[in-house]
Amino acid sequence: MRRSVLRHSHFWKITMRHSFFRVIAIVIIFTVVPSFAAPKKEKPVEPVKNTSGPEVVDRVAAVVNGSPITLSDLDYRIMLYKKSRAGQKLSDRNSVLDQFINEKIVEQVAEEQSIHVTDVRVDNDIADMMKQSNISDRAVFVKKIETEQGMPFEMFRMQIMRQLLMDQVMTYAVDFTSPSRQDAEEWYQKNKNIPDLVQMNYKQIFLRTRNDSFEEQKAVSARLKELQNQLEKGVSFEELARRESQDPESARNGGSVGWVMLSKLDPMIAGQVYQGYRQGGMGMLRSSQGYFLVKYVGKRTAPFSEVESQIYGMLSFQRRVEQFTKWLERRRDNSEVNIYLEGYVRTKKNEKSAGPVRR
> Structural domains in the chain?
20-50+58-179+306-339 (1.10.4030.10), 195-303 (3.10.50.40)
Q: Give 120-152 pLDDT, tens digit per residue.
A: 999 999 999 998 887 889 999 998 888 877 778
Determine the pLDDT at residue 85.
Answer: 58
Asked if residue 74 lies in contact with residue 118, where contact means CB atoms within 8 angstroms, the answer is no
Give Dmax (Cα) for the chain: 87
Tell me the pLDDT tens digit for each residue of 252-285: 999 999 999 988 887 767 777 777 777 677 888 8
Could you give phi then psi for residue 11, rounded to 5 degrees? -85, -5
* Closest of 99, 38, 39 to residue 69, by C-alpha: 99
Higher pLDDT, 57 or 128: 128
Q: Write b or e for each residue in 100-123: b if 16 or more Cβ atoms lie within 10 A of its Cβ, otherwise e.
A: bbbbbbbbbbbeeeebebeeeebe
User: Among the listed ranges 44-48, 102-106, 297-301, 343-347, which one has the minimum average pLDDT value?
Assistant: 44-48
Question: Strand, helix or coil at 273?
Answer: helix
Q: Write down the H helix ranges in the chain.
A: 20-31, 71-83, 93-112, 119-132, 138-148, 153-173, 181-191, 214-232, 237-244, 248-252, 267-279, 304-333
Tell me which residue of 248, 237, 240, 242 sits closest to 202, measured CA to CA: 237
User: 44, 339 in Cβ contact below 8 A?
Assistant: yes
Q: Buried b / exposed e across 161-186, counting CB within 10 Å, b at 16+?
A: ebbbbbbbbbeebbeeeebeeebbee
The pLDDT score that the predictor gives to residue 155 is: 83
**Residue 82 has what pLDDT?**
80
